[in-house]
Every structure is written in C-alpha cells, then in structure tokens.
Structure 1
C-alpha cells in the first residue's frame, strides 16, 4: 500500500512539473512574457532549417527598451539596413534604408508580442513580422508567419544598449522665407515645418535671399534634414542643403500627368537601375528649357516638345570628374539628347529612341 502511494506521489509531481502556466491576454502596451513549451528534441545536424528555429529556450521579456539592427535582403537593391527600437511601453520606431536607392522610411507605431512572434502595427505602412529566436536575435517571417529558409540573412541582432534612431533623410519640399522666419512644406506628406536657424541652414537662406526672383515666393528645394522631437516636433533641422528647383512644383506621385514642372529622378537606363544616391535628376520647364544634375555635373539645355515628340539640344555642363558616376552620367546625358519621344505612363516618364524605351524616370520624392 505504501508503494502505491509513493508511486502516485511521483506521478503527480512529474505531472505538476510539465504543466504550462495559463496565458491571459496582456493589455496593449504592457510587457508580455512568453513561456516556452518543454518538448523532447532529437539531435539533428545543423542546416538552414535548424538555424531558422529557436535555439534559446529562455522566456522572452520586453521589460526594457532595446535596439535591433541588421541588413536584410532587397529585391532590387544591395540590401535594406534596418534599425528597430522596441520600447517597454508598447511603442516602436523603425528606420529602413534602401541601400543605393537613397530611400529612407521612418515609421512609428505599437508592437504586439504573440508567443514569440513580434507584430509591428502602423495604419499607413505594412511592416514585416519577426520572431524571437533568442532574447538577442529576431528573424523575419514570411507572409504566412513562417521562418524563411534561405542562405541569405534575415536576422536582426540586439545591440548591447539602446541606440537612437537616425531620423535624417533626403527631402523635397516648398521652402519660403518671410521676414526672419523660414518654413518648409514636405511635398510627400504635406506637413509644414518651421526651419531652425542653424549653421547648416545659413547657405540655403543666403542663396534664397540673393535670388531676387525668389523673394517671398515658395520654391521647391532638395535637402537632407530631420524633424525634431517633443517641443520641436514642428521644426525642421537642416543637415545639408542641396539646391533650389525654380519652375518646379510638388509632384502628384500617383498621377503626374505632365512632363513639365516635375523634378524627375532617373530610375532606369534601358534595363539598368540607376543608384539613387547619385541623385540623377532633370526638370523640364514650361519655357522650353531644362536643367538638372547628372550624378557629378550640373547641366542645362533647351528642348522642343510637340505632342509626344521630343528634341533636346546639346547640353551645357560643368566640367567636374567623378570616377564613381562617370559611366552613369555619360549614358544619361547621351540618352537625354538622343531621345525622340516622351510619354508619361502611370507615374513614370519614359523616354524613347526608335520606339524603344531608353530611360525611365519617376517623380523625385527627395
């Protein structure tokens, strides 16, 4: 009888050790603890599949602010540099930089941790879903929320300490000076910001005031800057001024409609993508003149457009030499002068020669 009682006690003890704590939904914005089920694991050789599965069986806590960084694959660029900050109060910030495309996406929102799966929620943007494979590593999941089995890197690694998000980015917008105050309206978002009077703003302000045609007028400008935080959330801090684009307007990104008045960024030369950090751009003005930047040099010329036909005169250019952009610059300027037809199709401007597309441009967002 004692043996039976002893056996029942051991059975009950083992049963109690294997029980998992009950899970209750956590209020949004609070820390979530995910218990890990204990299962029998067979020893298997390392491969892409086993590397994509969780190898750290500790509980996952987001009870402190943390940063994750890494470079993830990109379909048409060398990679996407990610910087993700998770805050213990349920907020997140993310910076995605598309390498060689001069495109930076800054997004804020709230996170939700469901078991080990991390959801990043924002109403305007669709963001990837991640899984904690350990307390120090996230891996991106596919559309079905399954691990991606690939030899390419889909991991973000945790930094030793919280790192501030770099919020600087290229911008295109309307700049205006009224008395001692300057403002900038971002074309992409329509948000208006006062411009901080810093040393990096001075060259821009000086160029504006020296051009009599711009006095009191709003002019499209390109620059690199950041929006302040807290009390400065309506203030633009300029990091670098690029140039003014007289005769341009804020583009209609989904339906530009007209060749004229839009700052066009070269996207492709034939079937070859143009690295966006070269900032190859052109503006066709209403007065039959055009000007722009070809990756190293500034240029200007006259042109004629009748219906869809196009004829561009020889370009007048500055004479700098830039090794990294010389080939792109040569192909772009040659194609611009050889084009015989221009069409706006969807949101793209296509230039043709003998009925073949030799160049495709998109409205510049920055």
Structure 2
C-alpha cells in the first residue's frame, strides 16, 4: 500500500511564471556516494501555475531502507531547458514523517549568447558552477557546489552527508590559481591546506590528494558543470574586510578576494555600525574588521541585482588597517603565458577554443607546449640567461579551421625564430636574432 509525501514548492522570483512549464518533484535515496541516487517516488505537474506549488508524491514504504538518507529534489523546466531547481538537500521521510515539507527553487543562470564560451589557458570554460557528491571516509558522501569566476575568485559549499553525529556544512570564499605542471587549479582560502583540482575537460574537475597528486580510484571524485553559473548562497563565513561607507550605504571589501559586498542593515549590523562609529577617526581612515557573515545571491526580478552580505556576528575592529594582498609574481617556467600578439598582430581568443598560450615546464626536463586554440605544439627548449631557443617535437594533428590554421603556422615559425627573451614582471617578449619582437605574452592565472 502506497504512502504519500505532501509538500509545497516556493519559487525565488516575483515575476509571473509563463505557461508551458513542467514541475517535477522526486524523492531520492542519496546514501551511496559511489552510485547514482535511487528514485523512490516522483510526481510531474504540467502547467503548475503560479507559486507556491502544492504537490504530493506516492511511494512504497517497502522500498525504504533503515539508515538510508532520503532527499527531495524539485525542478521546473520549459521543454529541455532547466529554469528553476533546488540547490540544497531537503531531507524527508525521517522517522516516518510524511510531510508537509517545503522546498525552495532558485533560478538557473543561463548564457544569453548562442556562441560557446571561451576556454581559458587552464582548460576551463568560466564562469561556471561545478557540482557533485564525492567519497567520504566516515560519512555517506560530501556534496560539493563550487562556483568559479575568470577573475580567480571562488565560492564553495560542502555538505557532509549521513554523519552519525549529525549534519555538517562548510562554506568558504577564496581565490584560485592555475598550476600548469599538474594541469590543475588550486583553491586557497579558508581551508587550512590548498585544494587541488585536476582539469579534465572545460566542464569537468577531478579532486587530487592534499599533496596535489592524482587519486587513483574508480570512485567518483569528479565535479561537473553544464557550462552555466548558478551561484550558491553561503552561510557562516569567517571574513576579514575593509569597511566602506558610500552614498548607497555600507559595504565590505573582502580582503582575500577583493570583492565588495553591500551590507544589509539586519542581523548583527548594529554591532558593526557601533564599531565604525567608535573606532573610525574620519571617513578617510581605513577600518579593517573580522566578522561572521552570510552572502546571499541576487534573484531575477528582485532588486538589488548583486550579492548582499549579512553580518551574523561582529568579532573585532582594527582601526587604521586596510586589506593588503601581495602582488603576484611570474616565473618563466610553470606559468601560463597568454599569447597576446604574433608578429605585431593581436591574437584574440576564439569562442569555444582554448586561449592561445605558451607553457615552459622545467621538471623533469625542459619542455614546452603551445597552442593558438587548435593543435598543441610540444617540444624541448634551452635557456641560458636571456637566451631561449625552441626545438620543435610532436604536434596533435587536428584539421584547424581558418584563421586558426594560418595562426598555428605562424606560431610554429615564431618559435623556430626565437633566440632571446625580454621578461619584465608579468610581460614576456620573444625576440629574434636582431632583437625584433616576434610575440608578446602576458602571465595569467597567477597566485
């Protein structure tokens, strides 16, 4: 005999929903991190009307397992296009409870252009959100939501599922940099150790161990992206930032990322305001603060259209101090050098193709790889002071469409003709015998 779970879906939008939509709610067993979720029950409502949407899902109690974790997931689609989805775990059927349960669906960000997004030298198509459930030694799995931006900022939410001692969630903001030697990106922020992610494809990352080595396992250590950015809300963040007071109200410049967040006048805002009043000598005097906060993402149709910060707990103020971050430094080896020009002609990236770049690796031997967005040219190089020469080796053999075919031949000729370099900060010039500039490059995705 079937039981029924009842619920109500709230939609984060004040705009009227169009007709022709399909609402779906699914009960899933998410207990196993090494296997897809098992569907226990489902309901589909065509043309659900305006929110809130009431629903009921029939399921067979005989399908339930003791100690399993059951979650409710809901989506709204127009045809094949996903428009709204739940982005947090809503546990259901705990201790026999059959509802009612409330879920909140958030809008899914979609690229407005028809052209594929450009691919950075690191191999990722950004901005994008990456999600997945990764294995866990002492729990059922760790659900990840990782938002990456091209300006090297990341937001991450992690949830430890099925812990005997209760749920655990950790949110953080930070910065990422590219590691060409590993073919990876590295996250550094609130975590005690940097987190290494191997770039498998433009929409796929694989977790590496704490030392930055590949994990050899058949278990699902990968996060995937559909190429869109759906930023998640973050809670219980421990942040340091510089207080800014402007005509539109207070804001916080977060020190690690450099992002500026308008501050809501709720929560523990009064404590922050009191510290500003008591410890800031003048509007020109910087004031650094540490606090616990929540970052809430904007929702379409609602104002304002940018993330907001809510102070949960004020910790301390540091009068006269401001955010400081060391300038990145570029080394010739193990750096992505974006190729900005060849023979005096600009070299813009091509949509859907990898950013033109050159990488010089120094271990275990001096080798290079380069591309204009089609084939990869690889070989050896020799350096002595400002002298640099390339010895071409192999190349992939894809047929390149114009203008990439001509640019690739030009890059090959430039590498053969290079005799010297001029390295100044984040700029690198490849020079010929007579000192003429053959190519201009810039270091990108540095720490």
TM range (shorter): 0.3 to 0.5
| TM-score, normalised by the number of residues in structure 2 | 0.32
Looking at CA atoms only, which structure, 1 or 2, has the larger radius of gyration?
Answer: 1
From the two aligned structures, give the one with the greater helix fraction: 1
From the two aligned structures, give the one with the greater strand fraction: 2
